[in-house]
Structure 1
Amino acid sequence: MSSLQLGDRLGRSVGLGPAGAPGRRNTELGLLAFALLLPMLAYANVGLAMDGRLPAGMLEYGLGLGALAGAAHLAVRRFAPYADPLLLPAATLLNGLGLVMIWRLDKAGKQLRGNYPAATNQLIWSALGIAFFLAVIVLLRDHRVLQRFTYISMVLALALLAAPAFFPARAADFGAKIWIHLGSFSIQPGEFAKIILAVFFAGYLMVKRDALALASHRVMGLYLPRGRDLGPILVVWLLSILILVFETDLGSSLLFFGLFVVMLYVATERTSWIVFGLLLSIGGAVLVGSTEAHVKVRIDAWLDPLAAFAHPGSGASDQIGQSLFALGSGGVTGSGLGQGRSWLIGFAAKSDFILGSFGEELGLTGLMALFLIYGLIVQRGLRTALAARDPFGKLLATGLSSAFALQVFVVAGGVTGLIPLTGMTMPFLAQGGSSVIANWSLVALLLKISDSARRPAPEPTRAVGA
């Protein structure tokens, strides 16, 4: 029995059938109200802690965020009435808290090195993200239409991933070629490529999963794939290495390759693919880490995050060390919103290292709450994959959820020193327009698949006179 068939049975056994649409949407509305209340309270808390009074723009912030969330809810109520009721409130809560923390760090002023006001721009990007969300909800009638564009998706994703290599990098990018700069405007194509790659992998694996599941040898309890079936994973591995070499982008390389291995395992149920994937990823990391200067600097900073303090003037980065200090300073309950010193992390305190900023001011308790919200989004995405009726929808929901989970892992792992820093952004929380637009689009796709999975099947037409 394939994993897709097993998903069908599990979905029916745990009661994933369609529920009443009005009930789902009313639940979503209530959760949205709570998701809007928490950022408003956080916004007020920051103002009181830093200025001793409520922020002057508190009402405008609440109305703006409420209008965006309300528009998204109305679109879901009209065009995806059977969709999961938890995804939209969870994304809104994360986006709202991210806006509050970015505004709080804006107020640090000159204390934050390289600081410039970003909260207003992030609110505009969030509005554009909601606009993309609405476009997907309204215009995408059936997610299965995306299957027609399997190979077009592959070409488009590769073009997006390769595009930054042909544009000059700026000094502010610190060696990584992951942005396209056009004057004052910049875009990070890799954020959109992860969604398009999930579409390609879902379409490709739905057709090829039986061939990829075949095994010719069994060694030490593992089914080893045939030599010619190793082709796809070797090609993806090679492409991820090329991205790492030419763009020195460790994050996209990990996400790109990890997404393919996870979806390959889900489609074929072969543990051997996980083993091959791990061996290839470790081999590629060792090869590039020992030859590529920028990646080697990141690995050295990971191995010795306090080198900048032990050897002043050595040129070593102090960001990971400052992030660890911030997390340690926050302790269990945190210093309180607006009362930390996470601006010592530097310019990345509200982008790459915003999780460290939250860790200092909300403590371990607050970080666990944020991770639970991220986990909830991933869990509801995988639950949608179980409930989906079509194989393409199952694989696409799995891919989107896995891409989201992998991004959270590599960012959190880099900030806490678990793995080398990747330079990716924390979904919804961190400053970055490309990230917030891409992740709102990802949530919209999951909602459309969820709506299709839970929508009651049409009644069979009876023959006349039966």
Structure 2
Amino acid sequence: MSTFDLSPETNAANRRPNTTITPAAAPNRRNTELVMLGFAVLVPILAYANVGLAMDGSLPAGMLGYGIGMAALALIAHLAVRRFAPYADPLLLPLATLLNGLGLVMIWRLDKAGKLLRNNFAAAPNQLMWSGLGVAVFIGVVLLLKDHRILQRYTYISMVVALVLLAAPAFFPSRQEDFGAKIWIRFGSFSIQPGEFAKIILTIFFAGFLMVKKDALALASRRFMGLMLPRGRDLGPILMVWLLSILILVFETDLGTSFLFFGLFVVMLYVATERTSWIVFGLVMSVGGAAVVATMEPHVKTRINAWLDPMAAFAPHPPANSSEQIGQTLMALGSGGTTGTGLGQGRSWLIQFAAKSDFILGSFGEELGLTGLMAVFMIYALIVQRGLRTALAARDAFGKLLATGLTSAFALQVFVVAGGVTGLIPLTGMTMPFLAQGGSSLVANWALIALLLKISDIARRPAAEPAAAIPEPTRGPVS
């Protein structure tokens, strides 16, 4: 019988007295989340102990404090989710906690090689502080955001805020150690990377904009080489975003943010319209724009040259502005082999300060080997899978687009960083989510996980129980 069958028999059945329809209550899986959090805290603690034993022959002095601190942060975050998002996805929080903990261990391990490096500083204490702030932001989002659909009201305000955040670093001077990129705002010793927060705010704008305009953007006017081409007037939004990404690349020489910004919009556009032509246009325009800028901007050209010839810096007469970090990372990955040298026993600290930020994957690849690196990528893949599953389960169009955009931004960032470190694509200078040193990235990604949890909470929550059917009045005998 069809769900919408309106036959007399169905209507009669629906009029039976005291008939109620009770939806099956989905388990909230909070206990599962708590158990997984235990593993997510235990694995970094054991890794911490392993590093201490390998480098000093004894357990680290701060092991107990580190374990208690990580467990406390994880427990507080879990209690917030249990109270304010009881039906949220049970895996996102443990996976993020595991990555954050492993990143802290590797940064601390690289700090211990500081005496062998020049201009090195201990970054683990700062990263631990940013981890606490990130969890605080996570709790704030879970507590204050009652429903993700509220964000739809701020579609165009989000656009303005995101553009201000993206443009702000261009008005601040860059330092020599920034290697030409203007992606930070600095106030003395304090610095912030606004592009990390802009990716979330831009996703909110794209989700609200595409939900309203998706039908117009899906219209096709002609077919060319098997592709359904959109109408010329509907190309306006993608041309505007393409131009804006090029301007970011020119004025801030930030290849990573430009790629992430434009790629995010193209992916969300494809999801909203189901038109393959948007993907083709996006690829052609991104490659064309990057090629043009590379011929004019020395910083971008240097990174492309380093990608084309990563070993040029080790030549007898290296070219000017050559970078040795990609070559060193490739050698570190090669020396790690399949099973790695062991935590604390590698030499990836030779990459110097970048081993804690852009190239921290090289450190993991050397000391954990290909097997460990694939395990790290699997954790990222699980986060992406749970995010896309949340998008599929969302009951509203805005929630579907928002979850897809947040997950795509996360996946694109992992791709561009991993691709740059391994030599697949030119280096972008972005931060590996949760693993690498960087407070802005850590806080922004904890906020991203919180938003996905709120969307999944609404999606997985059982539907409200309908009221009981009203029985028909009993008719008395007709006199």
Instruction: Give the TM-score category using the shorter length.
Output: over 0.9
Distance 2:269 2:117 in 1: 44
Contact 1:261 1:273 in 2 (8 A): yes
What secondary structure does 2:191 align onto?
strand
2:7 paired with 1:19: no
Match of 1:251 among 256, 259, 274: 256
Q: Does 1:201 align with 2:232?
A: no
Q: Structure 1 CA distance, aligned partners of 2:121 and 2:71?
A: 26
Structure 2 counterpart SS, 1:238:
helix
Letter in 1 for 2:178: D
- Counterpart check, 1:429 vs 2:435: yes
Amino acid at match of 1:105: L
Which residue number corresponds to residue 129 of structure 1? 134
Pairing 1:391–2:397 present: yes
- Give the equivalent residue in structure 2 for 1:13: none
The match for 1:275 among 248, 270, 280 is: 280
Q: Which residue of 1 aligns with 2:314?
A: 309
Q: Residue in 1 aligned with 2:19?
A: none
Return the offset for 1:465.
5.3
Letter aligned with residue 364 of structure 2: F
CA distance in structure 2 between the partners assigned to 1:215 and 1:358 by the alignment: 47
Shift of 1:19: 2.1
Q: CA deviation at 1:350?
A: 0.5
Q: Which amino acid in structure 2 is aligned with residue 428 of structure 1?
A: F
Q: Identify the match of residue 51 of structure 1 among 42, 51, 56.
A: 56
Q: Name which of structure 1's ranges 30-39 and 312-321 shifts more when overlaid on structure 2.
A: 312-321
Aligned-pair CA distance for 1:440: 0.2
**Normalised TM-score (structure 2):** 0.92
CA distance in 2 between partners of 1:276 and 1:109 (Å) = 47
Q: Distance in 2 between matches of 1:158 and 1:464?
A: 55
Deviation per CA, 1:52-72, whole angstroms, max 9, x where unpaired?
000000000000010000000
What amino acid is the match of 1:372? M
Confirm or deny that 1:450 pairs with 2:456. yes
Assess, with a 3 A threshold, how the Cα gap between structure 1 residues 282 and 462 changes in structure 2: closer, same or farther.
same
1:379 is the counterpart of 2:385: yes
Equivalent pair of 2:357/2:438 in contact (CA under 8 Å): yes
What aligned pairs does 1:6-405 form with structure 2 within 5 A after superposition? 19-21=26-28, 24-312=29-317, 314-315=319-320, 316-405=322-411
> 2: CA distance between counterparts of 1:194 and 1:91?
18
1: CA distance, partners of 2:198 / 2:114: 35
Partner of 1:438: 444
- C-alpha separation between the residues in 2 aligned to 1:429 and 1:120? 14
Aligned AA (1:253): S
8 Å CA contact 2:70–2:101 kept in 1: the answer is yes
In 1: Cα distance, 2:239 partner to 2:438 partner: 32
Any conservation in 2 of the 1:240–1:256 contact (CA below 8 Å)?
Answer: yes
Gaps of 5+ in 2: 1-23, 473-479
Quote how far apart the aligned CAs of 1:152 are: 0.3
Q: Which has the larger radius of gyration?
A: 2
Are 1:410 and 2:416 an aligned pair?
A: yes
Which deviates more from structure 2 when the two are superposed, residues 76-85 or residues 313-322?
A: 313-322
**One-letter identity of the residue aligned with 1:198:** T
Tell me how far 1:111 sits from its aligned partner.
1.8
Identity of aligned residues (%): 80
CA-CA distance at 1:219 after TM superposition: 1.4
TM-score, scaled relative to structure 1: 0.95
Structure-2 separation of matches of 1:319 and 1:344: 9
Whole-angstrom distance in 1 between the partners of 2:34 and 2:200 = 27
Other-structure match for 1:11 = none
Q: CA deviation at 1:189?
A: 0.2
Alignment partner of 2:358: what SS?
Answer: coil
Contact persistence 1:299–1:420 (CA under 8 A): yes
Is the partner of 1:425 in helix, strand or coil? coil
Deviation track 1:325-369 (CA, whole Å, cap 9, x = no partner) reads 000010100000000000111210000100001100000000000
Q: 1:419 aligns with which of 412, 417, 425?
A: 425
What displacement does 1:145 show? 0.1
Contact 2:216 2:234 in 1 (8 A): yes
CA distance in structure 1 between the aligned counterparts of 2:25 and 2:32, rounded to whole angstroms = 15
| Residue 113 of structure 1, CA deviation | 3.3
Letter of the 2:308 partner, please give it: L
SS class of match (2:437): coil
Q: Secondary structure at the match of 1:346?
A: helix
Distance in 2 (CA, whole Å) between partners of 1:110 and 1:91 is 31
Displaced runs of 4 or more, over 2 A: 311-315, 460-466
Give the letter aligned to residue 104 of structure 2: L
Residue 290 of structure 1 deviates from its aligned partner by 1.0
RMSD: 1.1
Partner AA of 2:27 in structure 1: G
1:18 deviation in Å? 6.3
Q: Residues 284 and 31 of structure 1: is their aligned pair in 2 closer, same or farther, counting only changes over 3 Å?
A: same
CA contact (8 A) 1:18 1:454 kept: no
Partners of 2:312 and 2:318 within 8 A in 1: no
How much has 1:314 moved relative to structure 2? 3.6
Counterpart Cα distance in 2 of 1:312 and 1:127: 47
Q: Provide the rounded CA distance (Å) in 2 between the counterparts of 1:171 and 1:463.
A: 73
Secondary structure of 1:201's aligned partner? helix
Pairwise CA distance, 1:399: 0.2
Could you tell me how far 1:460 is from its partner in structure 2?
2.2
Provide the rounded CA distance (Å) in 1 between the counterparts of 2:75 and 2:315.
51
CA contact (8 A) 2:217 2:230 kept: yes
Give the deviation of 1:171 after TM superposition.
1.0
Query: By how many angstroms is 1:461 displaced?
Result: 3.0
